[in-house]
Chains A and B, each alone.
With several copies, the nearest count.
Chain A
Amino acid sequence: MSKKFVEEFKVVENIALNSSNFLIKLLSKKALPQIAPGQFVNVEVKNSKEIFLRRPFSVFEVDYTQNTMSLIVKILGRGSKKLTEAEDGDTINIVYPLGKSFSYPEKEDKVLLIGGGSGVAPMLFLAKESGLVKENVDILLGARSKEDHIDVSDYAKYGNLHYTTEDGSLGEKGFVTHHSIFEQINNYNKIYACGPDAMMKAVAKIAKKEGVFCEVSLENLMACGFGVCLCCIEPTQKGNLCICTEGPVFNIKELKW
Protein backbone atom coordinates (compact mmCIF):
# COMPACT_ATOMS: atom_id res chain seq x y z
CA MET A 1 0.00 0.00 0.00
CA SER A 2 1.16 3.51 -0.57
CA LYS A 3 0.30 6.91 0.78
CA LYS A 4 -2.86 8.43 -0.63
CA PHE A 5 -4.32 11.90 -0.31
CA VAL A 6 -7.56 13.83 -0.36
CA GLU A 7 -6.89 17.29 -1.71
CA GLU A 8 -8.61 20.34 -3.15
CA PHE A 9 -7.02 21.04 -6.52
CA LYS A 10 -7.47 24.32 -8.29
CA VAL A 11 -8.68 24.30 -11.88
CA VAL A 12 -6.13 26.24 -13.95
CA GLU A 13 -7.35 25.22 -17.39
CA ASN A 14 -10.44 23.64 -18.87
CA ILE A 15 -10.29 23.31 -22.64
CA ALA A 16 -12.84 21.70 -24.94
CA LEU A 17 -10.88 19.23 -27.08
CA ASN A 18 -13.98 18.53 -29.12
CA SER A 19 -17.70 18.58 -28.42
CA SER A 20 -17.54 15.89 -25.75
CA ASN A 21 -13.95 15.77 -24.44
CA PHE A 22 -12.39 18.29 -22.10
CA LEU A 23 -8.86 18.69 -20.86
CA ILE A 24 -8.91 19.78 -17.24
CA LYS A 25 -5.63 20.92 -15.70
CA LEU A 26 -5.43 20.95 -11.93
CA LEU A 27 -2.97 22.68 -9.65
CA SER A 28 -1.90 21.16 -6.36
CA LYS A 29 -0.82 23.25 -3.40
CA LYS A 30 1.97 20.82 -2.66
CA ALA A 31 4.48 18.64 -4.44
CA LEU A 32 2.71 15.83 -6.27
CA PRO A 33 3.62 12.24 -5.48
CA GLN A 34 4.84 10.01 -8.33
CA ILE A 35 1.95 9.06 -10.61
CA ALA A 36 2.33 6.53 -13.41
CA PRO A 37 0.27 5.86 -16.57
CA GLY A 38 -2.81 3.78 -15.76
CA GLN A 39 -3.24 5.24 -12.30
CA PHE A 40 -6.34 7.24 -11.64
CA VAL A 41 -7.96 9.77 -9.33
CA ASN A 42 -11.42 9.85 -7.79
CA VAL A 43 -13.16 13.15 -8.29
CA GLU A 44 -15.91 14.72 -6.24
CA VAL A 45 -18.70 16.25 -8.31
CA LYS A 46 -19.70 19.34 -6.37
CA ASN A 47 -22.95 21.25 -6.60
CA SER A 48 -24.87 18.47 -8.22
CA LYS A 49 -28.08 17.35 -6.56
CA GLU A 50 -28.15 13.97 -8.27
CA ILE A 51 -24.59 12.83 -7.73
CA PHE A 52 -23.63 11.16 -4.51
CA LEU A 53 -20.41 9.26 -5.21
CA ARG A 54 -17.10 10.35 -6.74
CA ARG A 55 -16.18 9.64 -10.36
CA PRO A 56 -12.90 7.96 -11.37
CA PHE A 57 -10.68 9.45 -14.12
CA SER A 58 -7.31 8.33 -15.38
CA VAL A 59 -4.42 10.70 -15.07
CA PHE A 60 -3.43 12.07 -18.46
CA GLU A 61 -0.41 14.22 -17.66
CA VAL A 62 1.62 15.23 -14.64
CA ASP A 63 3.97 18.17 -14.41
CA TYR A 64 6.02 17.77 -11.25
CA THR A 65 7.72 21.14 -11.69
CA GLN A 66 4.42 23.01 -11.91
CA ASN A 67 2.56 20.67 -9.53
CA THR A 68 -0.16 20.20 -12.07
CA MET A 69 -2.05 17.13 -13.15
CA SER A 70 -4.40 16.88 -16.13
CA LEU A 71 -7.40 14.73 -16.88
CA ILE A 72 -9.33 14.17 -20.08
CA VAL A 73 -12.99 14.07 -19.22
CA LYS A 74 -15.42 12.71 -21.75
CA ILE A 75 -19.08 13.56 -21.21
CA LEU A 76 -20.92 10.33 -20.55
CA GLY A 77 -23.59 11.26 -18.04
CA ARG A 78 -24.44 13.83 -15.40
CA GLY A 79 -21.23 13.77 -13.38
CA SER A 80 -18.80 14.02 -16.25
CA LYS A 81 -20.98 16.75 -17.74
CA LYS A 82 -20.86 18.75 -14.53
CA LEU A 83 -17.08 18.41 -14.29
CA THR A 84 -16.61 19.78 -17.78
CA GLU A 85 -18.42 22.95 -16.64
CA ALA A 86 -15.59 23.73 -14.19
CA GLU A 87 -14.18 27.22 -14.48
CA ASP A 88 -10.69 28.50 -13.87
CA GLY A 89 -10.22 29.06 -10.17
CA ASP A 90 -12.84 26.51 -9.12
CA THR A 91 -11.62 23.85 -6.74
CA ILE A 92 -12.06 20.14 -7.30
CA ASN A 93 -11.70 17.65 -4.49
CA ILE A 94 -9.68 14.61 -5.45
CA VAL A 95 -8.65 11.32 -3.84
CA TYR A 96 -5.34 10.16 -5.32
CA PRO A 97 -3.17 8.52 -6.54
CA LEU A 98 -5.15 5.32 -7.01
CA GLY A 99 -4.63 1.95 -8.62
CA LYS A 100 -1.72 0.25 -10.30
CA SER A 101 -0.09 1.50 -13.46
CA PHE A 102 0.74 -0.24 -16.69
CA SER A 103 4.05 -2.09 -16.57
CA TYR A 104 6.68 -0.08 -18.40
CA PRO A 105 7.99 -1.66 -21.61
CA GLU A 106 11.60 -2.89 -21.91
CA LYS A 107 14.03 -0.77 -23.88
CA GLU A 108 13.82 -2.76 -27.13
CA ASP A 109 10.11 -3.58 -27.02
CA LYS A 110 7.90 -2.82 -29.95
CA VAL A 111 4.56 -1.77 -28.50
CA LEU A 112 1.03 -1.11 -29.62
CA LEU A 113 -1.05 1.31 -27.56
CA ILE A 114 -4.78 1.15 -28.16
CA GLY A 115 -7.20 3.73 -26.87
CA GLY A 116 -10.89 4.26 -27.35
CA GLY A 117 -13.55 6.47 -25.83
CA SER A 118 -12.50 7.69 -22.41
CA GLY A 119 -9.47 5.37 -22.58
CA VAL A 120 -7.32 7.70 -24.62
CA ALA A 121 -5.81 9.60 -21.68
CA PRO A 122 -3.74 6.82 -20.07
CA MET A 123 -2.53 5.62 -23.47
CA LEU A 124 -1.14 9.01 -24.36
CA PHE A 125 0.40 9.27 -20.89
CA LEU A 126 2.04 5.88 -21.42
CA ALA A 127 3.25 6.87 -24.91
CA LYS A 128 4.97 9.89 -23.43
CA GLU A 129 6.52 8.00 -20.53
CA SER A 130 7.39 4.79 -22.29
CA GLY A 131 10.98 5.84 -22.93
CA LEU A 132 10.94 4.08 -26.29
CA VAL A 133 12.06 5.43 -29.64
CA LYS A 134 9.17 6.63 -31.73
CA GLU A 135 9.71 3.87 -34.30
CA ASN A 136 8.84 1.22 -31.75
CA VAL A 137 5.55 2.75 -30.69
CA ASP A 138 2.27 2.52 -32.56
CA ILE A 139 -0.67 4.42 -31.16
CA LEU A 140 -4.07 3.28 -32.42
CA LEU A 141 -7.10 5.33 -31.49
CA GLY A 142 -10.68 4.39 -32.25
CA ALA A 143 -13.87 6.43 -32.25
CA ARG A 144 -17.24 6.59 -33.92
CA SER A 145 -16.31 9.29 -36.39
CA LYS A 146 -13.81 12.02 -37.10
CA GLU A 147 -15.49 14.53 -34.80
CA ASP A 148 -15.18 12.17 -31.87
CA HIS A 149 -11.42 11.99 -32.19
CA ILE A 150 -9.42 14.56 -30.32
CA ASP A 151 -6.37 16.18 -31.85
CA VAL A 152 -3.35 14.21 -30.64
CA SER A 153 -0.85 15.38 -33.27
CA ASP A 154 1.50 16.44 -30.43
CA TYR A 155 1.96 12.79 -29.70
CA ALA A 156 3.38 12.04 -33.14
CA LYS A 157 6.78 12.57 -31.55
CA TYR A 158 6.22 9.63 -29.21
CA GLY A 159 4.78 7.16 -31.71
CA ASN A 160 3.10 6.59 -35.04
CA LEU A 161 -0.52 7.61 -34.94
CA HIS A 162 -3.24 5.42 -36.46
CA TYR A 163 -6.98 5.92 -36.39
CA THR A 164 -10.14 3.99 -36.93
CA THR A 165 -13.66 5.36 -37.18
CA GLU A 166 -16.87 3.43 -37.43
CA ASP A 167 -18.00 5.58 -40.34
CA GLY A 168 -14.61 5.74 -42.07
CA SER A 169 -14.35 9.52 -41.74
CA LEU A 170 -10.82 9.30 -40.31
CA GLY A 171 -8.27 6.51 -40.71
CA GLU A 172 -9.49 3.01 -41.39
CA LYS A 173 -13.15 2.11 -41.19
CA GLY A 174 -14.41 -0.13 -38.41
CA PHE A 175 -13.46 -0.94 -34.82
CA VAL A 176 -9.85 -0.78 -33.65
CA THR A 177 -9.50 -4.54 -34.00
CA HIS A 178 -10.38 -4.23 -37.70
CA HIS A 179 -7.34 -2.03 -38.30
CA SER A 180 -4.70 -3.45 -40.64
CA ILE A 181 -2.16 -3.26 -37.84
CA PHE A 182 -3.77 -6.40 -36.49
CA GLU A 183 -2.67 -8.29 -39.58
CA GLN A 184 0.85 -8.20 -38.18
CA ILE A 185 0.04 -8.22 -34.56
CA ASN A 186 2.98 -10.54 -33.85
CA ASN A 187 5.30 -7.68 -34.72
CA TYR A 188 4.61 -6.33 -31.25
CA ASN A 189 6.05 -7.54 -27.99
CA LYS A 190 3.45 -5.78 -26.00
CA ILE A 191 -0.06 -4.45 -26.37
CA TYR A 192 -1.53 -1.95 -23.95
CA ALA A 193 -5.16 -0.99 -24.19
CA CYS A 194 -7.74 1.17 -22.49
CA GLY A 195 -11.30 1.77 -23.59
CA PRO A 196 -14.83 0.40 -23.48
CA ASP A 197 -15.36 -3.10 -22.20
CA ALA A 198 -16.24 -4.53 -25.61
CA MET A 199 -13.07 -3.07 -27.15
CA MET A 200 -10.92 -4.47 -24.36
CA LYS A 201 -12.42 -7.90 -24.80
CA ALA A 202 -11.91 -7.85 -28.57
CA VAL A 203 -8.28 -6.79 -28.19
CA ALA A 204 -7.67 -9.34 -25.46
CA LYS A 205 -9.13 -12.11 -27.58
CA ILE A 206 -6.70 -11.49 -30.42
CA ALA A 207 -3.72 -10.97 -28.12
CA LYS A 208 -4.52 -14.18 -26.34
CA LYS A 209 -4.86 -16.13 -29.57
CA GLU A 210 -1.60 -14.74 -30.91
CA GLY A 211 0.15 -15.10 -27.58
CA VAL A 212 1.14 -11.46 -27.33
CA PHE A 213 1.71 -9.83 -23.95
CA CYS A 214 -1.30 -7.60 -23.30
CA GLU A 215 -2.37 -5.31 -20.52
CA VAL A 216 -5.82 -3.77 -20.44
CA SER A 217 -7.27 -1.14 -18.15
CA LEU A 218 -10.81 -1.76 -16.90
CA GLU A 219 -13.52 0.73 -16.03
CA ASN A 220 -15.81 -1.11 -13.61
CA LEU A 221 -18.17 0.99 -11.53
CA MET A 222 -16.63 2.15 -8.27
CA ALA A 223 -17.93 3.40 -4.97
CA CYS A 224 -14.77 4.11 -2.95
CA GLY A 225 -11.82 3.82 -5.35
CA PHE A 226 -9.34 2.73 -2.68
CA GLY A 227 -10.24 -0.83 -1.85
CA VAL A 228 -12.69 -0.75 1.02
CA CYS A 229 -16.10 -1.32 -0.58
CA LEU A 230 -15.46 -4.37 -2.81
CA CYS A 231 -17.89 -3.04 -5.42
CA CYS A 232 -15.53 -2.80 -8.39
CA ILE A 233 -14.53 -6.45 -8.61
CA GLU A 234 -13.46 -8.37 -11.68
CA PRO A 235 -13.34 -12.18 -11.68
CA THR A 236 -9.68 -13.20 -12.11
CA GLN A 237 -7.60 -16.33 -11.84
CA LYS A 238 -7.06 -15.34 -8.20
CA GLY A 239 -10.77 -14.84 -7.54
CA ASN A 240 -12.70 -11.59 -7.46
CA LEU A 241 -10.25 -8.72 -7.31
CA CYS A 242 -10.93 -5.02 -6.81
CA ILE A 243 -9.91 -3.18 -9.90
CA CYS A 244 -9.30 -0.01 -7.89
CA THR A 245 -6.43 -1.55 -5.94
CA GLU A 246 -5.37 -4.65 -7.90
CA GLY A 247 -6.05 -2.87 -11.20
CA PRO A 248 -7.40 -1.04 -13.12
CA VAL A 249 -4.60 -2.48 -15.28
CA PHE A 250 -4.54 -6.24 -15.64
CA ASN A 251 -2.48 -8.57 -17.74
CA ILE A 252 -5.09 -10.45 -19.75
CA LYS A 253 -3.65 -13.71 -18.45
CA GLU A 254 -4.98 -12.80 -15.01
CA LEU A 255 -8.51 -12.27 -16.28
CA LYS A 256 -11.19 -14.84 -16.99
CA TRP A 257 -11.89 -13.50 -20.46
Chain B
Amino acid sequence: MVNLKVKIDDLDLKNPVMTASGTSGFAEELTDFYDVGQLGGLLLKGTTLKNRDGNAYPRMAETASGMLNAVGLQNKGIDYFIENIYPRIKDYNTPLIVNVNGSTVEEYIAVTEKVNELDKIPAIELNISCPNVKEGGMSFGISCPSAEAVTREVRRVYDKTLIVKLSPNVTDITEIAKAVEGQGADSVSLVNTFLGMAIDSEKRIPLLSTVTGGLSGPAIKPIALRMVWQVYNAVKIPVIGMGGIMNAADAIEFMLAGATAVQVGTAIFKDPFIPVQIIKGIEEYLERHKILSVSELVGCLQM
Protein backbone atom coordinates (compact mmCIF):
# COMPACT_ATOMS: atom_id res chain seq x y z
CA MET B 1 0.00 0.00 0.00
CA VAL B 2 1.25 3.42 -0.92
CA ASN B 3 1.19 6.26 1.55
CA LEU B 4 -0.99 9.19 0.50
CA LYS B 5 -0.56 11.27 3.64
CA VAL B 6 0.80 14.79 3.48
CA LYS B 7 1.30 17.48 6.07
CA ILE B 8 0.61 21.21 5.75
CA ASP B 9 2.15 22.73 8.88
CA ASP B 10 0.32 20.98 11.77
CA LEU B 11 -2.43 19.80 9.52
CA ASP B 12 -2.38 16.11 8.69
CA LEU B 13 -4.18 15.27 5.47
CA LYS B 14 -5.06 11.67 4.65
CA ASN B 15 -4.34 12.50 1.03
CA PRO B 16 -3.29 15.62 -0.87
CA VAL B 17 -6.62 16.26 -2.62
CA MET B 18 -8.90 18.99 -1.31
CA THR B 19 -11.83 20.80 -2.85
CA ALA B 20 -11.33 24.50 -3.61
CA SER B 21 -13.24 27.28 -1.92
CA GLY B 22 -16.38 28.43 -3.71
CA THR B 23 -16.65 25.26 -5.72
CA SER B 24 -17.92 22.90 -3.06
CA GLY B 25 -20.30 25.04 -1.06
CA PHE B 26 -20.23 24.11 2.60
CA ALA B 27 -19.62 20.48 1.71
CA GLU B 28 -23.20 19.41 2.25
CA GLU B 29 -24.09 19.29 -1.43
CA LEU B 30 -21.20 16.90 -2.06
CA THR B 31 -22.58 14.51 0.54
CA ASP B 32 -25.53 13.96 -1.79
CA PHE B 33 -23.01 12.17 -4.03
CA TYR B 34 -20.49 10.52 -1.71
CA ASP B 35 -18.87 10.43 1.68
CA VAL B 36 -16.69 13.54 1.87
CA GLY B 37 -14.58 11.78 4.49
CA GLN B 38 -12.61 10.38 1.57
CA LEU B 39 -11.25 13.82 0.73
CA GLY B 40 -7.93 15.16 1.93
CA GLY B 41 -9.63 18.35 3.02
CA LEU B 42 -12.48 20.67 2.27
CA LEU B 43 -12.21 24.40 1.64
CA LEU B 44 -15.51 26.02 2.53
CA LYS B 45 -17.21 28.80 0.57
CA GLY B 46 -15.64 32.22 1.11
CA THR B 47 -17.05 33.77 4.30
CA THR B 48 -17.23 37.38 5.41
CA LEU B 49 -18.16 39.13 8.63
CA LYS B 50 -21.63 40.16 7.51
CA ASN B 51 -24.14 38.80 5.03
CA ARG B 52 -23.27 39.52 1.41
CA ASP B 53 -25.76 39.14 -1.43
CA GLY B 54 -23.00 38.84 -3.98
CA ASN B 55 -23.20 40.28 -7.48
CA ALA B 56 -26.22 40.46 -9.75
CA TYR B 57 -27.12 37.79 -12.30
CA PRO B 58 -25.58 36.82 -14.76
CA ARG B 59 -22.56 35.66 -12.80
CA MET B 60 -21.16 33.06 -15.11
CA ALA B 61 -19.85 32.76 -18.64
CA GLU B 62 -18.43 29.71 -20.32
CA THR B 63 -15.08 30.21 -22.07
CA ALA B 64 -12.68 27.98 -23.99
CA SER B 65 -11.71 25.21 -21.55
CA GLY B 66 -12.83 27.31 -18.65
CA MET B 67 -15.36 29.68 -17.17
CA LEU B 68 -15.65 33.15 -15.72
CA ASN B 69 -17.49 33.70 -12.47
CA ALA B 70 -18.55 36.84 -10.72
CA VAL B 71 -20.25 35.39 -7.68
CA GLY B 72 -18.80 38.07 -5.45
CA LEU B 73 -18.60 36.16 -2.18
CA GLN B 74 -22.31 35.62 -1.64
CA ASN B 75 -22.61 34.23 1.90
CA LYS B 76 -24.67 34.75 5.03
CA GLY B 77 -21.79 35.91 7.22
CA ILE B 78 -19.65 34.15 9.79
CA ASP B 79 -22.26 34.20 12.57
CA TYR B 80 -24.83 32.44 10.42
CA PHE B 81 -22.16 29.92 9.50
CA ILE B 82 -21.29 29.25 13.11
CA GLU B 83 -24.88 28.94 14.24
CA ASN B 84 -26.49 27.14 11.35
CA ILE B 85 -23.97 25.44 9.11
CA TYR B 86 -21.06 24.49 11.33
CA PRO B 87 -23.11 22.24 13.65
CA ARG B 88 -24.34 20.25 10.64
CA ILE B 89 -20.95 19.72 9.01
CA LYS B 90 -18.46 19.71 11.86
CA ASP B 91 -18.28 15.95 12.13
CA TYR B 92 -17.45 15.24 8.52
CA ASN B 93 -14.38 13.09 8.70
CA THR B 94 -12.02 15.48 6.90
CA PRO B 95 -10.39 18.79 7.81
CA LEU B 96 -12.75 21.68 7.14
CA ILE B 97 -10.99 24.92 6.31
CA VAL B 98 -12.74 28.27 6.39
CA ASN B 99 -11.95 30.67 3.54
CA VAL B 100 -11.75 34.04 5.29
CA ASN B 101 -12.60 37.26 3.48
CA GLY B 102 -12.90 40.93 4.31
CA SER B 103 -12.93 44.40 2.86
CA THR B 104 -10.75 45.75 5.66
CA VAL B 105 -8.03 44.24 7.81
CA GLU B 106 -10.41 44.56 10.76
CA GLU B 107 -12.99 42.41 9.03
CA TYR B 108 -10.42 39.71 8.30
CA ILE B 109 -9.42 39.79 11.97
CA ALA B 110 -13.01 39.67 13.19
CA VAL B 111 -13.87 36.65 11.04
CA THR B 112 -10.64 34.89 12.03
CA GLU B 113 -11.26 35.43 15.72
CA LYS B 114 -14.67 33.84 15.44
CA VAL B 115 -13.34 30.89 13.47
CA ASN B 116 -10.61 30.45 16.05
CA GLU B 117 -13.29 29.42 18.55
CA LEU B 118 -14.42 26.49 16.41
CA ASP B 119 -12.83 23.21 17.54
CA LYS B 120 -13.36 21.41 14.30
CA ILE B 121 -11.80 24.02 12.06
CA PRO B 122 -8.06 23.29 12.10
CA ALA B 123 -7.02 25.93 9.58
CA ILE B 124 -8.09 29.01 7.69
CA GLU B 125 -7.35 30.11 4.17
CA LEU B 126 -6.96 33.85 4.02
CA ASN B 127 -8.41 34.91 0.68
CA ILE B 128 -6.55 38.04 -0.38
CA SER B 129 -7.19 37.32 -4.02
CA CYS B 130 -10.90 37.47 -4.83
CA PRO B 131 -11.24 39.44 -8.07
CA ASN B 132 -15.01 39.76 -7.75
CA VAL B 133 -15.50 42.24 -4.93
CA LYS B 134 -15.15 45.99 -5.11
CA GLU B 135 -13.29 46.63 -1.88
CA GLY B 136 -10.73 44.36 -0.27
CA GLY B 137 -10.31 40.97 -1.84
CA MET B 138 -7.74 40.98 -4.57
CA SER B 139 -6.53 44.46 -3.78
CA PHE B 140 -4.87 43.03 -0.64
CA GLY B 141 -3.16 40.34 -2.63
CA ILE B 142 -1.58 42.32 -5.44
CA SER B 143 0.82 44.44 -3.44
CA CYS B 144 3.39 43.33 -0.89
CA PRO B 145 2.66 45.90 1.83
CA SER B 146 -1.07 45.16 1.99
CA ALA B 147 -0.53 41.39 1.76
CA GLU B 148 1.97 41.68 4.60
CA ALA B 149 -0.31 43.82 6.72
CA VAL B 150 -3.32 41.55 6.58
CA THR B 151 -1.23 38.42 7.12
CA ARG B 152 0.57 39.94 10.10
CA GLU B 153 -2.61 41.09 11.80
CA VAL B 154 -4.45 37.84 11.25
CA ARG B 155 -1.42 35.84 12.43
CA ARG B 156 -1.56 37.76 15.72
CA VAL B 157 -5.00 36.43 16.53
CA TYR B 158 -4.71 32.94 15.06
CA ASP B 159 -2.60 30.03 16.27
CA LYS B 160 -3.78 27.21 14.06
CA THR B 161 -2.70 26.64 10.50
CA LEU B 162 -2.78 29.84 8.47
CA ILE B 163 -2.87 29.42 4.71
CA VAL B 164 -2.76 32.54 2.55
CA LYS B 165 -4.37 32.31 -0.88
CA LEU B 166 -2.51 34.24 -3.54
CA SER B 167 -3.71 36.10 -6.59
CA PRO B 168 -2.20 35.26 -9.99
CA ASN B 169 -2.94 38.76 -11.27
CA VAL B 170 0.51 40.05 -10.39
CA THR B 171 3.83 40.66 -12.10
CA ASP B 172 5.81 38.55 -9.65
CA ILE B 173 3.91 36.13 -7.44
CA THR B 174 7.06 35.05 -5.60
CA GLU B 175 7.36 38.50 -4.02
CA ILE B 176 3.90 38.26 -2.53
CA ALA B 177 4.54 34.67 -1.41
CA LYS B 178 7.76 35.68 0.33
CA ALA B 179 6.05 38.68 1.89
CA VAL B 180 3.31 36.59 3.52
CA GLU B 181 5.81 33.90 4.52
CA GLY B 182 7.75 36.64 6.26
CA GLN B 183 4.66 37.57 8.28
CA GLY B 184 4.09 34.07 9.54
CA ALA B 185 1.89 32.34 6.98
CA ASP B 186 2.18 28.57 7.46
CA SER B 187 1.38 27.82 3.84
CA VAL B 188 0.40 29.56 0.61
CA SER B 189 -2.28 28.33 -1.74
CA LEU B 190 -2.40 29.38 -5.39
CA VAL B 191 -3.89 30.31 -7.70
CA ASN B 192 -7.14 32.14 -7.32
CA THR B 193 -8.89 33.12 -10.54
CA PHE B 194 -7.49 35.37 -13.29
CA LEU B 195 -9.35 38.58 -13.99
CA GLY B 196 -11.07 38.11 -17.34
CA MET B 197 -14.00 39.25 -19.41
CA ALA B 198 -16.48 37.91 -21.92
CA ILE B 199 -18.66 39.68 -24.45
CA ASP B 200 -21.76 38.75 -26.40
CA SER B 201 -20.80 39.97 -29.86
CA GLU B 202 -24.37 39.79 -31.16
CA LYS B 203 -25.91 41.84 -28.36
CA ARG B 204 -22.73 43.89 -27.83
CA ILE B 205 -22.94 43.53 -24.06
CA PRO B 206 -20.65 42.01 -21.43
CA LEU B 207 -21.76 38.52 -20.43
CA LEU B 208 -21.25 39.21 -16.72
CA SER B 209 -23.24 41.74 -14.75
CA THR B 210 -19.94 42.97 -13.34
CA VAL B 211 -18.22 43.16 -16.77
CA THR B 212 -15.12 41.36 -15.46
CA GLY B 213 -14.91 38.12 -13.50
CA GLY B 214 -12.54 35.37 -12.46
CA LEU B 215 -11.27 32.81 -14.97
CA SER B 216 -10.85 29.22 -13.80
CA GLY B 217 -10.58 25.78 -15.33
CA PRO B 218 -8.07 23.94 -17.57
CA ALA B 219 -7.42 27.10 -19.60
CA ILE B 220 -5.38 28.55 -16.73
CA LYS B 221 -3.48 25.40 -15.80
CA PRO B 222 -0.22 26.21 -17.62
CA ILE B 223 0.04 29.60 -15.90
CA ALA B 224 -0.96 28.23 -12.49
CA LEU B 225 1.58 25.45 -12.80
CA ARG B 226 4.33 27.92 -13.62
CA MET B 227 3.41 30.02 -10.60
CA VAL B 228 3.40 27.02 -8.25
CA TRP B 229 6.85 26.07 -9.51
CA GLN B 230 8.15 29.62 -9.03
CA VAL B 231 6.69 29.93 -5.54
CA TYR B 232 7.94 26.49 -4.53
CA ASN B 233 11.43 27.64 -5.43
CA ALA B 234 11.04 30.89 -3.52
CA VAL B 235 9.57 29.94 -0.14
CA LYS B 236 10.14 27.29 2.53
CA ILE B 237 6.53 26.84 3.66
CA PRO B 238 4.38 24.23 1.91
CA VAL B 239 2.60 25.24 -1.26
CA ILE B 240 -0.96 24.20 -2.09
CA GLY B 241 -1.51 24.20 -5.83
CA MET B 242 -4.62 24.63 -7.92
CA GLY B 243 -5.91 25.94 -11.23
CA GLY B 244 -7.57 23.75 -13.81
CA ILE B 245 -6.92 20.38 -12.20
CA MET B 246 -9.24 17.90 -13.92
CA ASN B 247 -7.60 14.53 -13.35
CA ALA B 248 -4.86 12.69 -11.51
CA ALA B 249 -2.19 13.55 -14.10
CA ASP B 250 -2.93 17.25 -13.60
CA ALA B 251 -2.72 16.88 -9.82
CA ILE B 252 0.59 15.04 -10.12
CA GLU B 253 1.97 17.78 -12.37
CA PHE B 254 1.21 20.32 -9.65
CA MET B 255 2.93 18.16 -7.04
CA LEU B 256 5.98 17.69 -9.28
CA ALA B 257 6.08 21.46 -9.68
CA GLY B 258 6.21 21.79 -5.91
CA ALA B 259 2.73 21.54 -4.43
CA THR B 260 2.46 19.53 -1.21
CA ALA B 261 -1.29 19.30 -1.72
CA VAL B 262 -3.76 20.39 -4.38
CA GLN B 263 -7.25 21.81 -4.58
CA VAL B 264 -9.83 20.89 -7.18
CA GLY B 265 -12.27 23.63 -8.13
CA THR B 266 -14.13 24.05 -11.38
CA ALA B 267 -13.74 20.35 -12.21
CA ILE B 268 -16.37 19.67 -9.56
CA PHE B 269 -18.95 21.44 -11.72
CA LYS B 270 -18.18 19.02 -14.52
CA ASP B 271 -18.35 16.02 -12.22
CA PRO B 272 -18.50 16.10 -8.41
CA PHE B 273 -16.70 12.75 -8.29
CA ILE B 274 -13.51 14.13 -9.85
CA PRO B 275 -11.76 14.81 -6.51
CA VAL B 276 -12.24 11.19 -5.39
CA GLN B 277 -11.25 9.89 -8.82
CA ILE B 278 -8.07 11.93 -8.53
CA ILE B 279 -7.22 10.35 -5.18
CA LYS B 280 -7.61 6.93 -6.77
CA GLY B 281 -5.61 7.97 -9.82
CA ILE B 282 -2.72 9.22 -7.69
CA GLU B 283 -2.71 5.93 -5.80
CA GLU B 284 -2.55 3.99 -9.06
CA TYR B 285 0.22 6.22 -10.36
CA LEU B 286 2.32 5.66 -7.27
CA GLU B 287 1.83 1.90 -7.50
CA ARG B 288 2.66 1.86 -11.20
CA HIS B 289 5.80 3.90 -10.62
CA LYS B 290 6.70 2.02 -7.44
CA ILE B 291 6.75 5.17 -5.35
CA LEU B 292 5.96 4.51 -1.71
CA SER B 293 4.78 7.89 -0.55
CA VAL B 294 3.02 10.68 -2.40
CA SER B 295 5.21 13.23 -0.67
CA GLU B 296 8.14 11.95 -2.71
CA LEU B 297 6.55 13.60 -5.73
CA VAL B 298 6.66 17.09 -4.27
CA GLY B 299 8.98 19.28 -6.32
CA CYS B 300 10.76 16.32 -7.83
CA LEU B 301 10.56 17.52 -11.41
CA GLN B 302 13.67 16.35 -13.28
CA MET B 303 15.41 19.25 -14.97
Q: Do chains A and B touch in the complex (CB under 8 A)?
A: yes
Closest chain A CB from B222 CB (angstroms): 12
Closest chain B CB from A219 CB (angstroms): 12
Contact B269 A228 (CB under 8 A): yes
Closest chain A CB from B162 CB (angstroms): 25
B24 within 8 A of partner (CB): yes
Complex partner residue of A239 from B33, B53, B269, CB under 8 angstroms: B53
B71 within 8 A of partner (CB): yes
Band of interface residues on A: 20 to 34
Fill in one digit per residue for B110-148: 1 if any A CB lies within 8 Å of its CB, else 0. Answer: 000000000000000000000000000000000000000
A198 within 8 A of partner (CB): no
Contacting chain A: which of B4-12, B62-70, B224-232?
Answer: B62-70
Contact A240 B54 (CB under 8 A): yes
Contact B60 A228 (CB under 8 A): no
* Chain B residue nearest to A226 in the complex (CB): B29
Contact A221 B58 (CB under 8 A): yes
A231 within 8 A of partner (CB): yes
State which residues 1-47 of A face B: CB under 8 Å: 1-6, 44
Fill in one digit per residue for B62-101: 1 if any A CB lies within 8 Å of its CB, else 0. Answer: 1111110101001000000000000000000000000000
Q: A223-B60, A226-B272, A240-B53 given as contacts; is B31 within 8 A of A1 (CB)? A: yes
Closest chain A CB from B280 CB (angstroms): 15
- Bound: A234/B31 CA distance, A: 24
A54 within 8 A of partner (CB): yes
Contact A229 B69 (CB under 8 A): yes
Contact B29 A227 (CB under 8 A): yes
- Bound: A245/B24 CA distance, A: 14
Complex partner residue of B268 from A5, A50, A224, A230, CB under 8 angstroms: A224
Give the chain A neighbours of B165 by CB distance below 8 A.
none
Contact B60 A231 (CB under 8 A): yes
Q: A223-B69, A245-B29 given as contacts; is B268 within 8 A of A233 (CB)? A: no
* Chain A residue nearest to B33 in the complex (CB): A4
B217 within 8 A of partner (CB): yes
A52 within 8 A of partner (CB): yes
B32 within 8 A of partner (CB): yes
A121 within 8 A of partner (CB): no
* Chain B residue nearest to A98 in the complex (CB): B32
Give the chain A neighbours of B57 by CB distance below 8 A.
220, 232-235
Complex partner residue of B60 from A5, A221, A227, A240, CB under 8 angstroms: A221
Q: A52-B66, A224-B269, A240-B54 given as contacts; is B33 within 8 A of A229 (CB)? A: no
- Bound: A119/B190 CA distance, A: 42
Give the chain B neighbours of A223 by CB distance below 8 A.
60, 67, 69, 266, 269
A interface majority secondary structure: loop
Contact A53 B269 (CB under 8 A): yes
Contact B32 A226 (CB under 8 A): yes
Contact B67 A233 (CB under 8 A): no
Contact A52 B63 (CB under 8 A): yes
Closest chain B CB from A238 CB (angstroms): 11
Contact B270 A53 (CB under 8 A): yes
Contact B29 A6 (CB under 8 A): no
Contact B59 A231 (CB under 8 A): yes
A51 within 8 A of partner (CB): yes
Fill in one digit per residue for B14-56: 1 if any A CB lies within 8 Å of its CB, else 0. Answer: 0000000011110011111100000000000100000101100
Contact A228 B25 (CB under 8 A): yes
A95 within 8 A of partner (CB): yes
- Bound: A172/B89 CA distance, A: 54
Closest chain B CB from A96 CB (angstroms): 11
Give the chain A neighbours of B45 by CB distance below 8 A.
230
Contact A231 B69 (CB under 8 A): yes
Give the chain B neighbours of A239 by CB distance below 8 A.
51, 53
Complex partner residue of A1 from B29, B66, B69, B273, CB under 8 angstroms: B29
* Chain B residue nearest to A51 in the complex (CB): B62
- Bound: A87/B271 CA distance, A: 23
Contact A52 B67 (CB under 8 A): yes
Beyond A228-B23, A229-B60, 10 additional contacts (C-beta under 8 Å) are A1-B31, A44-B271, A51-B62, A53-B269, A220-B57, A220-B58, A223-B60, A229-B22, A229-B23, A230-B59
20 contacts between A and B (CB under 8 A): A1-B28, A1-B29, A4-B33, A44-B270, A52-B64, A52-B66, A52-B67, A52-B217, A220-B58, A223-B67, A223-B269, A226-B29, A229-B22, A229-B23, A229-B71, A230-B59, A232-B60, A233-B59, A233-B74, A239-B53
> A residues bordering B, Cβ < 8 Å?
1-6, 44, 49-54, 93, 95, 220-235, 239-240, 245
